[in-house]
């Protein structure tokens, strides 16, 4: 497979690795993809890394070696079969095993390569073989996988050239108004993921930032999107599996569902994540949070209730609301949207 300077930087960020440790995992990963044997000593020299960093990635299983200290695994990719993981990737006459089916498809997709991914259906155990051409699924053996491949083929999305994003912070660009009470470098309307990303990036560069929110802090994902929906889907999945697991030597059964308790547990999770991932960050980074509805007075002034807030830059991250299709009779029934389902 043709490789590029991409690697597992984002993966490393999520695992809490520093730049040096990410460099070790990336170097090992690319060497494996290119079919180049590399020992731990070679890896440390090539990544210009200290022994402590190398020990950390090996201890955590992010880089694995054989008895001769030759790297055989890195960041979910392995040159040897992975126990209890039936996911394999074939390309250029070579084979790799992966920790999850997503990597078996995602790695050649990211590289835009021709490859074959072999795995098994998580639900029925049926073997699945996916053929990728230029990183796009061209054929699949499992009926559901074929349907998904056909759906993907109808979209305009295709993998582009991989690009490494610089991690270094750019120079601070302050406008000189940081001494004024209500004049800011940046005013952000909204408090979801995009708003927090902008606020964090700006405050890290020394800007004076204000965030304005009229409703619940945190936006769609944590409040009415990913978090509540996926925790309920997970509960449903476990209930379904309890009554349909395929092992004859195990006795399980699905009994009753306490929906009120599931909803309460969902609400507790949402509240915890909203506090830890959003509310606490406001104080940690030090920008100002203003509660209320904002409207523009002029090109550099927002009015929030009776307060005028001036800024040289604005980010409007107010999100969206569900689009209701024009279905005849829909206005006469009590229908649910994704937003109303979790409130």
DSSP state of 341: G
* CA pair distance 89, 1, nearest whole angstrom: 11
Nearest to 183, CA basis, from 195, 175, 191, 173 = 175
Sequence-distant (≥ 6) Cβ neighbours of residue 325 within 8 angstroms: none
Bridge partners (DSSP) of residue 91 are 94
- Helix pair angle (226-244, 259-274), 10° resolution: 140
Domains of the chain: 9-153 (3.30.450.410), 170-343 (3.50.50.60)
Strands 71-74 and 77-78 turn out to be antiparallel
pTM above 0.75, yes or no: no
DSSP state of 322: P
* CA pair distance 197, 10, nearest whole angstrom: 15
Once rounded to an integer, what is the mean pLDDT over residues 192-205?
92
Q: How many CB atoms lie within 10 A of CB 242?
A: 12
Q: For 100-117, what is each residue's pLDDT tens digit?
A: 766 776 677 666 667 787
Nearest to 158, CA basis, from 139, 133, 141 = 133
36-50, 129-143, 242-256, range with the lowest pLDDT: 129-143
Give the tokens for residue 295: 């409207």
Once rounded to an integer, what is the mean pLDDT over residues 240-261?
87
Once rounded to an integer, what is the mean pLDDT over residues 177-189?
78
Confidence of residue 210 (pLDDT cuts 50, 70, 90): very high
∠ CA 171-50-14 to the nearest 5 degrees? 55
């Amino acid at each position: 497979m043709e490789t590029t300077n991409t690697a597992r930087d984002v993966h490393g960020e999520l695992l809490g690795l520093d730049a040096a440790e990410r460099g070790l995992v990336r170097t090992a990963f690319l060497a494996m993809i290119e079919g180049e044997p590399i020992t731990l000593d070679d890896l440390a020299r090539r990544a210009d890394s200290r022994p402590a960093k190398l020990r950390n990635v090996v201890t955590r299983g992010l880089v694995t070696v054989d008895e001769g200290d030759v790297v055989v695994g890195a960041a979910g990719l392995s040159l040897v079969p992975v126990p209890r993981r039936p996911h394999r990737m074939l390309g250029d006459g070579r084979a790799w095993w992966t920790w999850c089916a997503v990597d078996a498809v995602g790695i050649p997709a990211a590289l835009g390569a021709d490859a074959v991914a072999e795995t098994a259906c998580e639900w029925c155990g049926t073997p699945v073989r996916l053929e990728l051409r230029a990183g796009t699924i061209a054929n699949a053996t499992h009926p559901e996988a074929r349907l998904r491949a056909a759906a993907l083929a109808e979209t305009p999305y295709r993998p582009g050239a991989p690009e490494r994003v610089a991690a270094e912070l750019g120079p601070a660009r302050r406008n000189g108004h940081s001494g004024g009470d209500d004049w800011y470098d940046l005013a952000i309307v909204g408090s979801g993921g995009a708003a927090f990303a902008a606020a964090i990036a700006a405050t890290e560069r020394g800007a004076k930032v204000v965030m304005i929110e009229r409703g619940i802090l945190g936006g769609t994902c944590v409040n009415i999107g990913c978090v509540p929906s996926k925790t309920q889907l997970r509960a449903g999945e476990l209930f379904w599996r309890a009554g349909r697991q395929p092992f004859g030597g195990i006795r399980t059964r699905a009994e009753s569902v306490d929906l009120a308790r599931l909803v309460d547990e969902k609400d507790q999770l949402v509240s915890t994540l909203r506090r830890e991932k959003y509310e606490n960050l406001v104080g940690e980074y030090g920008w100002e949070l203003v509660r209320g509805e904002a409207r523009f007075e002029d090109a550099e002034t927002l009015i929030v209730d009776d307060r005028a807030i001036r800024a040289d830059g604005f980010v409007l991250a107010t999100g969206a609301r569900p689009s209701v299709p024009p279905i005849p009779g829909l206005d006469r029934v009590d229908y649910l949207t994704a937003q109303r389902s979790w409130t």
